[in-house]
Amino acid sequence: MIHKVVIANRGEIALRILRACKELGIKTVAVHSDVDSEALHVKLADQSVCIGPAPSADSYLNMKAIISAAEVTDADAIHPGYGFLSENAEFAEICQNCGLIFIGPTADNMRLMGDKISARQTVTKAGVPILPGTKDGVPNSEEAVLIANDIGYPVIIKATAGGGGRGMKIVHSAAALPNAYAAARSEAKAGFGNPEVYIEKYCQRPRHVEIQIMADKHGNVIHLGERDCSIQRRHQKLLEEAPCSILPDDVRQKMCACAVAAAEAVNYSSVGTVEFLLDANNDFFFMEMNTRVQVEHPVTEMITGVDIVKEQILCAAGEPLRYRQEDIVFRGHAIECRINAEDPEKFTPCPGLIDGYHTPGGLGVRVDSAVYDQYKVLPNYDSMIAKLIVHADSREEAIKRMNRALDEYIIEGIKTTIPFHQRIMNNKEFIEGDVDTSFLERVQL
């Protein structure tokens, strides 16, 4: 078993990991930057180590400092959370070489899925549907035009080393292709250090539906159903729910089976998420696989009762999954609102002192957050300060419960996105379940 875990993260996910460790009887080590010494994860951990100055590059991304923190505290594992080093295959490898358990999949799993072309090729072999597109990188603009003519417009150009939507270019005509191709390449080079791009048919106004999977080191793979994460702004998810309200049961079964097949095809071990686009005909296509625990995992926990982070830690320790597929029972509906320290109209970051704080409570309400009254939200890091999650018997009741919980949530001193979420909860299209990735561009909130 694992005895002591270094939590290589901050904020709510550091607390989430700490809580799982406590319940498993595992000691915790918080690492933190200079400016995070008052952070809750530091106060609640058994031990803490300062790993550098405020900039992430010098602290939460500082592999040497984090490995050293594990060595001086005699820890045997590192949990990367999400963001920061969570999808860095080199870091996973360094942990292994230092005799530390990286709580996540193997470095090979991470590399294979991190390269979007190899991910596409791998899942295709496992029978998972993908959108028509190139098998390999597109070497030049002339080739790009030939391929796009073959696929038919609109097409989308994506970075091989990309992901999460950054640097993608949607192209509607051959005339626009050469410029978009050149721009995509230079953005890919600048953003990911690799200029390679590939081309796919562009799917218009899809839903973003993803399947949570769990896999152990003994070849067992199960799924925990889907999440609908269609409500996004500039590729930042703002609200997620489970299940997807319009997904027909036969399509759900197929999508879940595909996600499990994709994980089995790469001998995956750990928790992970397989992302799909779902079009208006309810056809679905593989987008990418995330090899980490995700921000939105709580909605799945609420409808299944499974502690995803605990299972992830146990799997990393070599334990077999404690659930078979038939043990997973889905109940009710869950919604998560990401509460950001941002202007609720313009979404510009609004860090500062929280001066007055009260969290909502009651049946079916969960707050995952690391802030408290008189806490100073820092400008150095991500603006998400809390996740408000509700669970109820139906989607309709979950929306009412979310409305009630948002009303109760008092955060004074800084602007937050609470008013934005209140507008969504009262929006006709949202209430009717009419959401897709263009929702926020389309509706007048």
Please identify, using beta-carbon distances, which residue of 358 and 442 lies nearer to ligand MV4: 442
Q: Does 294 bind ligand MV4 (CB under 6 A)?
A: no
The token duo for 354 is 């929280």
Active site residues: 292
Please identify, using beta-carbon distances, which residue of 226 and 311 lies nearer to ligand MV4: 226
Q: Does 156 bind ligand MV4 (CB under 6 A)?
A: yes
Q: Does 232 bind ligand MV4 (CB under 6 A)?
A: yes
Provide the minimum distance between the beta carbon of 32 and ligand MV4 in the complex, in angstroms, as a whole number: 31
Between CA 291 and CA 293 the distance in angstroms is 7
Q: Does 208 bind ligand MV4 (CB under 6 A)?
A: yes
Contacts with ligand MV4, 160-199, as mask; x by CB under 6 A:
----xx----------------------------------
Please identify, using beta-carbon distances, which residue of 65 and 171 lies nearer to ligand MV4: 171
| Partners of 199 in beta bridges | 157
Concatenating the DSSP letter of every residue in 169-202 gives EEE-SGGGHHHHHHHHHHHHHHHHS---EEEEEP
Which of 259, 294, 264 has the alpha carbon at shortest distance from 275? 259
Provide the minimum distance between the beta carbon of 327 and ligand MV4 in the complex, in angstroms, as a whole number: 30
Provide the minimum distance between the beta carbon of 268 and ligand MV4 in the complex, in angstroms, as a whole number: 18
Query: CA geometry: angle at 152 spanning 150 and 157, to 5°?
Result: 90
**Kind of pairing between the strands at 270-278 and 352-353:** unpaired
Cis peptide before 419 (omega within 30 of 0): no
- 261-299 in b/e form (b: 16+ CB < 10 A) is bbbebbebbbbbbbbbbbbeeeebbbbbbbbbbbbbbbb
Provide the minimum distance between the beta carbon of 210 and ligand MV4 in the complex, in angstroms, as a whole number: 10
- Which of 12, 36, 200, 240 touches ligand MV4 by CB under 6 A? 200
Provide the minimum distance between the beta carbon of 277 and ligand MV4 in the complex, in angstroms, as a whole number: 6
Three-state SS at 284: strand
Number of residues that bind ligand MV4 (CB under 6 A): 17
The token duo for 315 is 């799997």
Q: Does 129 bind ligand MV4 (CB under 6 A)?
A: no
Q: What is the footprint of ligand MV4 within residues 358-387 (CB under 6 A)?
A: none
- Which of 64, 125, 172, 235 touches ligand MV4 by CB under 6 A? 235
Between CA 445 and CA 442 the distance in angstroms is 9
The token duo for 207 is 């839903």
- Which of 202, 409, 430, 439 touches ligand MV4 by CB under 6 A? 202
Q: Does 131 bind ligand MV4 (CB under 6 A)?
A: yes
Interface with ligand MV4 by CB under 6 A: which residues?
131, 156, 164-165, 200-203, 206, 208, 232, 235, 275, 277, 287-288, 437
